Structure 1
Amino acid sequence: MDDLGGLAERWRAELAEWGIPDEIAAKAPADPWEHSPARFAGRTDRALADPEGPTLARIAEALPERGSVLDVGAGTGAASLPLARLGAVRGGGGGSGTLGELVAVDTSEAMLAELASRAGALGVPARTIRGRWPDVAGETPAADVAVAAHVVYNVPDLAGFLSELTGHARRRVVLELSHRHPMSWLNPLWAHFHGIVRPERPTADDVAALAERLGYGVRRQERLAPLSRFSGVAELAESACRRLCLDPGRAEEVVAAVAELDLWPVPRDQWVTLWWDPA
């Protein structure tokens, strides 16, 4: 079994293989890694309309009455704000599951503005901190539960990220992530348009293994993503053009390739919830 240093270095190296070659990135008409605040906000609104799932339940069952949540890589709040609508724990546990305070960390000011607007409408006191975790850990207060949803595949120093996250959680740490890298659905299109074979790792198994080597009592639950990735082929093509560094005018080529490669509908991701309670 690899030691902690070996697991951490392997994670860093495998994640680096997902980088876009410089000669392709240089020709990109738009930032291939950019995320749309409006699209994220739509996901949050859907989660608020139907608060459910193992990640939410694992947070709620560890949360005391009017408890506090630290949401790292919060985006527009899809992993944390639905607690205000959940009301009570689903699936049993010892907490009341009521959200009394939210501390949200994200690198995007626009995302945090969407979150703050929704928190205000829900009557949830929210503090937003713009920055990258764990760089801003020193200015971030501890909370009853810390959550990071769909963030870790952007984190080269995973051991440091998880250590600071755990150090800021009094009762529980909860991670949500896809089993494979979230850009894996594009792998056949990378081969088709650029002749590049994309990686297969790292995966959620690697996250769990590293957390266990840090000494955390990791527990795990899986499910299919609650929603399809795209509403239609046109939306897929728009996203694929950006991620593949293609001109948007090539969307019809992408649609044709999707048909040729039998990529529609895109299968739902397998989502993994990992959690542990600090000693």
Structure 2
Amino acid sequence: MDAGALNERWRRNLESWAIPDEILAAAPADPWAHVPARFAGRTDRAVAEPEGPTLARVAEALPEGGAVLDVGSGPGGASLPLHDRIGDLVAVDSSAAMLKELMIRAEGLGVAATAVEGAWPDVEGEVPRADVVIAAHVVYNVPDLAPFFVALNAHARCRVVLELPNRHPMSWMSPLWEHFHGIRRPVRPIAEDAVALAAALGYDVRVEEREAPIERFTHIEDLAESVCRRVCLDPARSEEVASTAMELGMWPVPRDRWVTLWWDTRE
């Protein structure tokens, strides 16, 4: 398949994750919303204990004091762990709350950072080129992935590095969707689809996979709270969710598999 066909397949598969209108209309809270504090805590852990292939692939291509563009940055979990090497950081995110958390941490770490609020690649014209471009845990939010990749590549002088789960980040809840709503959730897209698209665009993609360094949840109460929001259930049903997860053999939740993919750019 060529890049156009692969991009269309990615779009269709991602659209299949849409929540049925009748369930979404009755949801007590936005099932797609993210909690900045949860992601900020993960950033703090990553800064305290920097490790893994994604950081290694960024570090080996980043000159001392080099420039980094972090797309879909959140609070900076994929970039701020390299604070001692970064000379300039530009962070792009559609969430002002996430960018605020990043800027607080960048200032504390002595990193010169600029926040750009907006979706990528809509805001690419506002963003300078960088030595290394990072996009971590964002592609499953991107229906039109080909132009997203092309814009990343155009802004990288040396390398593009991406990190993503090997399957959709909501996949682990599929048994609970079937239990509570009688709905079977999709399987694709998966990381291999993103790799195939990048290769079809002409990038010399390299791939490394590993077990995620963090547990998804440390307490079953946290799982139940998250499931109530994501699966569009009343928070009052959290104890029922917890017991159902136990009955279905879903606790403890297995760690994700994370995929790092990267390619070097041509000046």
Q: Normalised by the size of structure 2, how large is the TM-score?
A: 0.99
Q: Which amino acid in the other structure matches residue 136 of structure 1?
A: V
1:32 aligns with 2:19: no
Equivalent residue runs for 1:18-167 within 5 Å: 18-85=17-84, 98-167=85-154
The residue that corresponds to 1:94 in the other structure is none
Which runs of at least 4 in structure 1 moved beyond 4 Å after TM superposition?
Answer: none
The residue that corresponds to 1:172 in the other structure is 159
Partners of 2:110 and 2:136 lie apart in 1 by 22
- Where structure 2 has 5 or more consecutive residues not aligned to the other structure, the ranges are none
The residue that corresponds to 2:203 in the other structure is 216
Question: Percent of aligned pairs with the same residue?
Answer: 67
What SS does the aligned partner of 1:129 have? strand
The residue that corresponds to 2:254 in the other structure is 267
Partners of 1:34 and 1:215 lie apart in 2 by 34
Equivalent residue runs for 1:221-236 within 5 Å: 221-236=208-223
CA RMSD between the two structures: 0.6
The residue that corresponds to 2:187 in the other structure is 200
Shift of the alpha carbon at 1:126? 0.1
Q: Normalised by the size of structure 1, how large is the TM-score?
A: 0.95
Deviations 1:158-213 (A, max 9, x none): 00000001000000000000000000010000000000000111100000000000
- Equivalent residue in structure 1 for 2:168, among 176, 181, 184: 181
Q: Which amino acid in the other structure matches residue 171 of structure 1?
A: C
Q: Which amino acid in the other structure matches residue 59 of structure 1?
A: V
Q: Which amino acid in the other structure matches residue 27 of structure 2?
A: A
Partners of 1:167 and 1:23 lie apart in 2 by 41
The residue that corresponds to 1:250 in the other structure is 237
Q: Which amino acid in the other structure matches residue 142 of structure 2?
A: V
What SS does the aligned partner of 1:28 have? coil
Partners of 1:43 and 1:265 lie apart in 2 by 19
Shift of the alpha carbon at 1:256? 1.4
Deviations 1:140-172 (A, max 9, x none): 111000000000000000000000010000000
Deviations 1:2-33 (A, max 9, x none): 11111010000000001111000000111000
Q: Which amino acid in the other structure matches residue 96 of structure 2?
A: E
- Where structure 1 has 5 or more consecutive residues not aligned to the other structure, the ranges are 86-97
Partners of 1:197 and 1:181 lie apart in 2 by 14
Partners of 2:132 and 2:83 lie apart in 1 by 14
Shift of the alpha carbon at 1:231? 1.1
